[in-house]
Amino acid sequence: MRLLQGILLATVSLLILTPNTQAADLSQDQFNSLMEKFLSDDANVAKIGDSLEGYFKKKREGQQKAAQEQAAKQLEEQFKNPVKVAIGNAPIKGPKDAKVTIIEFSDFQCPFCKRGMDSMDAVHKEYPKDVKIAFKHLPLPFHPEAKPAARASIAAQRQGKFWEMHDKLFENQKSLGEELYMSLAKEIGLDMAKFKKDFADPAVAKQVDDDAALATKLGVRGTPGFFVNGVQVKGAQPLPKFKELIDRWLAM
């Protein structure tokens, strides 16, 4: 607030004082009188607004440029020193020998993760032979159904139908719950006795926890989060963002 007041005062001073007059030459009453007279004219008030707008626009542009330069520098550093992320027992979509691996950390209850799923579907269609996608779980603590949904997907994975359950869970994101998991398991043709047993298996819950712990270790704080051959991508970015990184890796 003090900074804004100072800028406003300086701006008005420049506008109301003549080239040969300094603020120090005026008494407070004289300055206040000039200020009051100046501000009584709408055109002068508009000048102040324009001056302030120009100042803050320039400041924003400077901050944006600095942020872009910093992001570009960090990206180059990541390409030189990509993060190693073990796929482990994560389900994979795409050829195992693909040149580019995308590790996805996601939460079935997160609306942004559904956008991330859409981006991964687009990537898979764009690069069916060159990219494989590995899915890892990062259920956020304020999403009560995120971890149970993750367990349901792993139980389906044990019967070779992770991606079928994955798609159904995101399609029914607003209706997550045990009743839905059982219904979807039947719908995709799972052995229900095995599904129920695996859904309750502590080892399944541990797999979810292990994925989340890995995400924390890698510095993934929100969902979705991705690593494209070890280069981190934060948030539900559109296809062009992933395409930029994938094409660069493929060109190496």
Going from N- to C-terminal start, the domains of the chain cover 2-80, 92-251
pLDDT score at 202: 98
Question: What SS3 state is found at 181?
Answer: helix
In this model, does residue 82 exceed pLDDT 90?
yes
Asked if 121 and 157 count as a contact pair (C-beta separation under 8 A), the reply is no
Neighbours of 47 (CB within 10 A): 16
DSSP bridge partners of 105: 136, 225
Residue 248's contacts (CB-CB under 8 Å, 6 or more residues apart) are: 79
In this model, does residue 4 exceed pLDDT 50?
no
Neighbours of 223 (CB within 10 A): 26
DSSP state of 110: -
Domain 92-251 in this protein, CATH class: alpha beta
Which tens digit of pLDDT belongs to each residue from 102-130? 999 999 999 999 999 999 999 999 999 99
Q: Select from 201, 192, 181 the least CA-distant residue to 109.
A: 181
Please give the average per-residue pLDDT across 188-193, as a whole number: 98
Which tens digit of pLDDT belongs to each residue from 131-156? 999 999 999 999 999 999 999 999 99
pLDDT score at 46: 79
Choose the weakest-confidence range: 48-57, 97-106, 178-187: 48-57
The Cα 233–Cα 134 span in angstroms is 14
Residue keyed to tokens 């926890």: 209
Q: Which two tokens stand for residue 44?
A: 């002068």
Q: Which segments of the chain are extended strands (E)?
A: 92-93, 100-106, 131-137, 225-228, 231-234
Residue 128's contacts (CB-CB under 8 Å, 6 or more residues apart) are: 94
In this model, does residue 1 exceed pLDDT 70?
no
- Up-side HSE of residue 207: CA atoms within 13 Å toward CB? 24
The Cα 34–Cα 26 span in angstroms is 10
In this model, does residue 176 exceed pLDDT 50?
yes
The Cα 100–Cα 244 span in angstroms is 12
By CB atoms closer than 10 A (0-12, 13-18, 19+), residue 185 is: buried
Q: Select from 230, 232, 207, 210 the least CA-distant residue to 222.
A: 232
Confidence of residue 24 (pLDDT cuts 50, 70, 90): low
